[in-house]
Amino acid sequence: MTMVDEEKKELVALLRNRIEERGGISFAEFMAQCLYHPDYGYYTTPRTRIGKEGDFFTSSSVHFLFGRLISRQLTQMWQLLGKGEFIIAEQGAGEGHLCLDILNALAEDAPDFYQQLQYRIVEISPDHRQGQEGNLQRHVDAGRVGWCSLDELQGMQGCFLSNELVDAFPVHLVDKDDGELKEVFVVNSDEGFVEEGRPLTNPAIRDYFKLVGHGLLEGNRGEVNLQALDWMSSVGKVLARGFVLTIDYGYPAEELYAPFRRNGTLLCYHKHQSNENPYQRLGCQDITAHIDFTALQKVGERNGLESLYFGEQYRFLMGLGFLEALIELQACATNPQQAQALRMTLKNLVMPDGGMGDSFKVLVQGKGVGVPELLCARKIQDIRLATGIF
Ligand SMILES: C[S@@+](CC[C@H](N)C(=O)[O-])C[C@H]1O[C@@H](n2cnc3c(N)ncnc32)[C@H](O)[C@@H]1O
């Protein structure tokens, strides 16, 4: 099968019928079906999505150090909340690598915390859930891990965590055309699916731009992630006390909707190649958009969440001890080739200039916790390395 042949024919037929019946569907609905249709969606059906054999890497699939460093931040959060019962909730856990690396690190480095915590996973994909169950058996057997819905976390105390969840939510596409905002709808044509700009009928889209205080420049396209707003507000509501730690690629609104970004940020991933065509390989390629951290912060504030930290992933990881850990791990390498391979792998987590280190950002919000000095906020100039290392 060639790459272009790879698509779910049933999904194509189903979408064609739905569009025919309704005279067009919003791009957000189209994307939701491509990613999450229960029988044919990219995320819901069996496939290797993450890692070398899949379509894309995530930080947790790069190296266990990512989860280990986050475990240090979680340990401090547990201390700040008084070292009592603590829930780590992770939504969208993929193959469970982040959970595994966090729990492995805590079992070793912070056994008291490990004994007190419950790790709860909220996962939409039955396929990913199966992978998680397989990878996390040891910690399930130890009574630490379980699965639940977001609503079941009502009243939780602890930290609500996600890595690359929000970029996987379906987005509305909006064009600024002749001074008007137009929403992109998908319609049928002899050539396949095509786009049609229609006057806004969904008032939530206009409200969204008011909320974030930035709009689109004439001729530009942007994505509006309404599901992210609902999600943030639900997370704020279920959290009784504690933290929300959100890691994803994205920008503050001012940068996301900057004049130079003419076509928005929508991208598709298939076997480690990106493309800008969501109308091919239906159900067989990932579709994502960069997220708007301003929107998360504003909706968070309305739901009792105060922003405590916002920064690039490289700063966050450096604050948590990335360099010191790299030096320690390197010292365990048995030969120079192994040490170099380790450095090359870990470099991916902190690479600037469009790499994971700066395209990924980290937002930490707090509720009922005051304004603590978080470990991740340690400044790079305050990092003290033993002399004679390099
Ligand atoms: C890009 S993957 C990230 C996986 C993982 N966090 C990692 O770092 O490898 C997105 C994950 O979010 C899940 N997901 C997407 N929408 C979701 C939702 N509404 N509720 C729960 N999980 C969701 C997907 O099934 C998948 O596990």
How many CB atoms within 10 Å of residue 93? 29
Instruction: Output the pLDDT for position 354.
Output: 80
- Is 290 exposed, middle or buried, given 0-12, 13-18 or 19+ CB atoms closer than 10 A? buried
Confirm or reject: Cβ of 168 under 6 Å from ligand 1: yes
Question: What pLDDT does 3 receive?
Answer: 43
With a cut of 90, say whether residue 353 has pLDDT above it. no
Pairing of strands 86-91, 117-122: parallel
Helices (H), the chain: 9-22, 27-36, 59-62, 64-80, 97-109, 111-116, 126-135, 137-141, 203-212, 226-238, 253-256, 293-302, 313-319, 322-331, 336-350, 356-359
Judge whether 247 and 59 are in contact, CB under 8 Å: yes
For residue 334, what are the contacts with CB-CB under 8 A and spacing of at least 6? none
CA distance 325 to 65: 8
Cα 179 to ligand 1 centre (Å): 36
pLDDT tens digit sequence for 186-224 = 999 999 999 999 999 899 999 999 999 999 999 999 999
Arithmetic mean of pLDDT, 287-316: 98
The pTM for the full model equals: 0.96
For residue 348, what are its two tokens? 């991916």
CB 349 within 8 A of CB 62: yes
Q: Whose alpha carbon is nearest atom 13 of ligand 1?
A: 92
250 lines ligand 1 (CB under 6 A): no
Using the mean position of ligand 1's atoms as its centre, give its distance from the Cα of residue 286 in Å.
Answer: 11
294 CB near ligand 1 (under 6 Å): no
**pLDDT (tens digit, 9 = 90+) per residue, 270-281?**
999 999 999 999
**Which atom of ligand 1 is nearest the CA belonging to 128?**
27
Minimum-distance ligand 1 atom for the alpha carbon of 162 = 6
Report how far ligand 1's centroid is from the alpha carbon of 163 (Å). Answer: 8
Does ligand 1 lie within 6 Å of residue 128's CB atom?
yes
**Ligand 1 in contact with 93 (CB < 6 A)?**
yes
Q: Give the whole-number percent of the chain exceeding pLDDT 70.
A: 97
